[in-house]
Amino acid sequence: MVRINEDKKEADAVTSKYFMSSVKSWHNEKGIKLGVERVSDLYANKNDKKKRGIAVTYSILDDMPKCRARAIDEKGNVIKEEDEVTGETRDKIVFIKDPDMVTFFYNVRIEDEELKEFSVNPKASCFPVFNWAFIKNEDLPEGNTKGFICNIEELQYALESAEFMATVKEERFQGGNPYMVLIPSDVVDVEEVVE
């Protein structure tokens, strides 16, 4: 029987915000092992024509006994609740064990639309992960702290199947609000440490 594809996507329970706040609260000392599953193509940023978005989906490869997540109803929608203090509507938060995946949505400044080139500022939330991947791929010098320009294919190649230990730190633009950033480090084999 042929059916209409409703094409309705279920909302993600674990968002980058809730994942990072969980790592920072309970797992930051050791970190959580992540593997890159998918790097999207550039997509339009509806708020700024000079910027583009990139979605990076990570597999969570370590046990994570406690992770904040949005409550999702049986139809795949986020359950909302009213904040008793402010009266604002917000996501209902639940705690889950061992989430599988988390997707981060990064914004970058477009440099050349035709070549799909973009720049990455050192204060951008994507900088630590993208910079780490390019250093590991020997596209940037060890210890790089400067911004860079690349294209989406170069990024996809550098991040393809990458694995790293993720911790979280707080950053702040001059005079701005603090924001959390994923900090990658190399995965160290236990056998390497023993030797």
The string of pLDDT tens digits covering residues 76-123 is 899 999 988 888 999 999 999 999 999 999 999 999 999 999 999 999
Query: Whole-angstrom Cα distance, residue 73 to residue 88?
Result: 20
Positive or negative: CA dihedral 189, 140, 153, 34: positive
Query: Whole-angstrom Cα distance, residue 101 to residue 10?
Result: 14
The string of pLDDT tens digits covering residues 26-38 is 999 999 999 999 9
The string of pLDDT tens digits covering residues 38-85 is 999 999 988 888 899 999 999 999 999 999 999 999 988 999 999 888
Q: What is the mean pLDDT of residues 169-190?
A: 86
> Do 70 and 13 contact (CB within 8 A), yes or no?
yes
Model pTM greater than 0.85?
A: yes
pLDDT value of residue 193: 45
The structural domains of the chain, with segments of one domain joined by +, span 16-187
Per DSSP, the residues of 123-167 read: TSTTHHHHHHHHHHTTSS-TT--S-EEEEHHHHHHHHTT-EEEEE
Quick one: tokens of 176? 């701005």
> Do 182 and 104 contact (CB within 8 A), yes or no?
yes
- SS3 of 25, please? helix
Is residue 14's pLDDT more than 80? yes
Confidence category of residue 171, pLDDT binned at 50, 70, 90: confident
Kindly state the DSSP code that residue 15 receives in the 8-state scheme: B
The string of pLDDT tens digits covering residues 115-166 is 999 999 999 999 999 999 999 999 999 999 999 999 999 999 999 999 999 9
Confidence category of residue 4, pLDDT binned at 50, 70, 90: low
